[in-house]
Amino acid sequence: MMLSEEKITHLTHVLLKGLVERDLIGLTDEEGKIRREIKRVIVNELKIGEDIDEAVRKKLQSFSRKLAEGSPEWEVLYKKFFREEETKRGRASR
Protein backbone atom coordinates (compact mmCIF):
# COMPACT_ATOMS: atom_id res chain seq x y z
CA MET A 1 0.00 0.00 0.00
CA MET A 2 1.35 3.40 -0.94
CA LEU A 3 -0.15 5.21 2.05
CA SER A 4 0.31 4.40 5.70
CA GLU A 5 -2.63 3.48 7.92
CA GLU A 6 -2.25 6.84 9.67
CA LYS A 7 -2.37 8.80 6.41
CA ILE A 8 -5.46 6.94 5.26
CA THR A 9 -7.16 7.60 8.60
CA HIS A 10 -6.23 11.27 8.33
CA LEU A 11 -7.68 11.39 4.80
CA THR A 12 -10.96 9.89 6.00
CA HIS A 13 -11.26 12.65 8.60
CA VAL A 14 -10.40 15.40 6.08
CA LEU A 15 -12.82 14.03 3.47
CA LEU A 16 -15.67 13.64 5.96
CA LYS A 17 -15.10 17.15 7.30
CA GLY A 18 -15.12 18.56 3.76
CA LEU A 19 -18.34 16.74 2.87
CA VAL A 20 -20.05 18.03 6.00
CA GLU A 21 -18.76 21.62 5.57
CA ARG A 22 -20.07 21.72 1.99
CA ASP A 23 -23.42 20.33 3.14
CA LEU A 24 -23.01 17.34 0.84
CA ILE A 25 -23.91 15.02 3.69
CA GLY A 26 -25.46 15.49 7.08
CA LEU A 27 -23.88 13.85 10.09
CA THR A 28 -25.79 11.43 12.21
CA ASP A 29 -24.63 9.17 14.98
CA GLU A 30 -22.90 7.08 12.31
CA GLU A 31 -19.79 9.20 11.74
CA GLY A 32 -17.55 6.20 12.45
CA LYS A 33 -19.44 4.07 9.95
CA ILE A 34 -19.05 6.75 7.26
CA ARG A 35 -15.31 7.05 7.94
CA ARG A 36 -14.91 3.27 7.74
CA GLU A 37 -16.65 3.25 4.35
CA ILE A 38 -14.45 6.08 3.08
CA LYS A 39 -11.40 4.14 4.29
CA ARG A 40 -12.60 0.95 2.58
CA VAL A 41 -12.97 2.79 -0.73
CA ILE A 42 -9.52 4.41 -0.44
CA VAL A 43 -7.86 1.06 0.37
CA ASN A 44 -9.67 -0.66 -2.53
CA GLU A 45 -8.61 2.05 -4.98
CA LEU A 46 -5.00 1.85 -3.81
CA LYS A 47 -5.06 -1.93 -4.25
CA ILE A 48 -6.45 -1.61 -7.78
CA GLY A 49 -3.74 0.94 -8.60
CA GLU A 50 -1.05 -1.39 -7.26
CA ASP A 51 -2.45 -4.32 -9.27
CA ILE A 52 -2.48 -2.22 -12.44
CA ASP A 53 1.07 -1.01 -11.79
CA GLU A 54 2.25 -4.60 -11.35
CA ALA A 55 0.54 -5.74 -14.57
CA VAL A 56 2.00 -2.83 -16.55
CA ARG A 57 5.52 -3.41 -15.22
CA LYS A 58 5.31 -7.11 -16.13
CA LYS A 59 4.20 -6.17 -19.62
CA LEU A 60 7.10 -3.75 -20.02
CA GLN A 61 9.57 -6.33 -18.70
CA SER A 62 8.34 -8.89 -21.21
CA PHE A 63 9.65 -6.87 -24.17
CA SER A 64 12.55 -8.53 -25.94
CA ARG A 65 14.35 -5.18 -25.97
CA LYS A 66 14.75 -4.05 -22.39
CA LEU A 67 13.62 -0.52 -21.64
CA ALA A 68 15.32 1.52 -18.97
CA GLU A 69 12.81 2.45 -16.30
CA GLY A 70 12.34 6.20 -16.27
CA SER A 71 13.45 6.69 -19.87
CA PRO A 72 11.11 8.75 -22.06
CA GLU A 73 10.08 5.65 -24.03
CA TRP A 74 9.40 3.68 -20.83
CA GLU A 75 7.33 6.55 -19.41
CA VAL A 76 5.20 6.88 -22.55
CA LEU A 77 4.53 3.14 -22.72
CA TYR A 78 3.88 2.91 -18.98
CA LYS A 79 1.22 5.63 -19.17
CA LYS A 80 -0.34 4.08 -22.26
CA PHE A 81 -0.51 0.58 -20.77
CA PHE A 82 -1.71 1.96 -17.43
CA ARG A 83 -4.65 3.69 -19.13
CA GLU A 84 -5.43 0.49 -21.06
CA GLU A 85 -5.44 -1.56 -17.84
CA GLU A 86 -7.68 0.99 -16.14
CA THR A 87 -10.12 0.76 -19.01
CA LYS A 88 -10.06 -3.04 -18.93
CA ARG A 89 -10.89 -2.97 -15.23
CA GLY A 90 -13.67 -0.42 -15.59
CA ARG A 91 -11.76 2.30 -13.85
CA ALA A 92 -11.96 5.86 -15.14
CA SER A 93 -8.72 7.17 -16.58
CA ARG A 94 -7.21 10.21 -14.97
Q: Give the pLDDT confidence score for residue 94 in this predicted structure.
A: 53
* Diameter of the chain measured on Cα atoms: 58
The tens digit of pLDDT for each residue in 34-84 reads 999 999 999 999 999 999 999 999 999 999 999 999 999 999 999 999 999
Predicted TM-score (pTM) above 0.85: no
